[in-house]
Structure 1
Amino acid sequence: MVLADQFEPFSTLTHVIYSGNDALPEAVTSINRLFERDKRIRFLTNDPRPTREAVVADLRDLGIEAGADAIVTSASTAATYLRREPVRRSTS
């Protein structure tokens, strides 16, 4: 059994999938091989600036087809947290 068959993979973006505007060697091929194995891959970034849709467009330009639901940014994580947890105001 291949290791990738035992887990749902995730990858950070910067310096793993791309650096600047260029895909890193073998990154696109490796990701697309995982897609061929019907793996659902999550792409992670701690950069809060791009929207998930912008990251999808960047990945598409590199040859990787992913949906916005596969993108996890620090901003999207913070937004999800704030929707779930009520903001408590200080009483002092």
Structure 2
Amino acid sequence: ICAIDLSGRSCLGFDVAIPTQKVGDFDTELVEEFMLGFCRAAECTLHFKQLAGTNSHHIIEAMFKALGRALKQAVAIDPTCPDAIPSTKGSL
């Protein structure tokens, strides 16, 4: 599961267990480092929670796909309220 808040504050919640240290030549510990860097640069709060999975490649792939979908939803304009800002605080 991935949740994102474009809050202007960077924070990462990372409840994911990647079982291997490498996928091919890629160090899997870099996934958390990338997500932390993303949060800092985007000034967003990002939470990941792993529900299942044992294959490191598939876990990482699912994380990036979930991030893309969450980000798309977070910035989407609601067609029923096209002039509304998609935020409970009234700003992005």
Question: Please, what TM-score do these two structures have when normalized by structure 1?
Answer: 0.24
Question: Please, what TM-score do these two structures have when normalized by structure 2?
Answer: 0.24
Task: Judging by fraction of residues, say which structure has more helix.
Answer: 1
Higher relative contact order (CA 8 A, sep 6+): 2
Bigger Rg, structure 1 or 2: 1
Task: Judging by fraction of residues, say which structure has more strand.
Answer: 2
